[in-house]
């Protein structure tokens, strides 16, 4: 009998790709970040704890993209002094 791969507790990189619908590079990037709680390291390999990964997805799915504030151009003091001299 073949085990359903998505019923496993730990997912390898390829299984994370299939589960999240992302590429291998992005999956490895997510798994190697130190600020997530779903990465499990066993020897030199990385796995995702499926339960923790699901919690992370639920937490992130409500996030809204923050609008960037316009960057103000810094005016050098010399430019402001020169502008005043021209007046």
Encode pLDDT of 41-86 as tens digits: 999 999 999 999 999 898 888 766 666 666 676 766 665 566 656 5
Would you state the pLDDT for residue 11? 96
Backbone phi, psi, residue 44, to 5°: -95, 10
* HEC assignment per residue over 38-83: CEEEECCEEEEEHHHHHHHHHHHCCCCCCCCCCCCCCCCHHHHHHH
Would you state the pLDDT for residue 1? 41
Is residue 3's pLDDT more than 80? no
Per the domain annotation, does 26 fall within a domain? yes
Domain holding 53, by residue range, is 1-59
User: What CATH number should be reported for the domain holding residue 18?
Assistant: 3.90.105.50
Per the domain annotation, does 71 fall within a domain? no
């Amino acid at each position: 009998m073949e085990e359903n791969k998505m019923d496993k507790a730990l997912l390898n990189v390829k299984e994370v790709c299939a589960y999240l619908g992302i590429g291998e590079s992005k999956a490895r990037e997510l798994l190697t970040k130190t600020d997530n709680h779903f990465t499990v390291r066993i020897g030199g390999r990385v796995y995702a704890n499926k339960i923790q990964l699901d919690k992370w997805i639920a937490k992130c799915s409500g996030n809204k993209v923050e609008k960037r504030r316009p960057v103000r151009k810094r005016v050098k003091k010399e430019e402001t002094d020169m502008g005043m001299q021209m007046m």
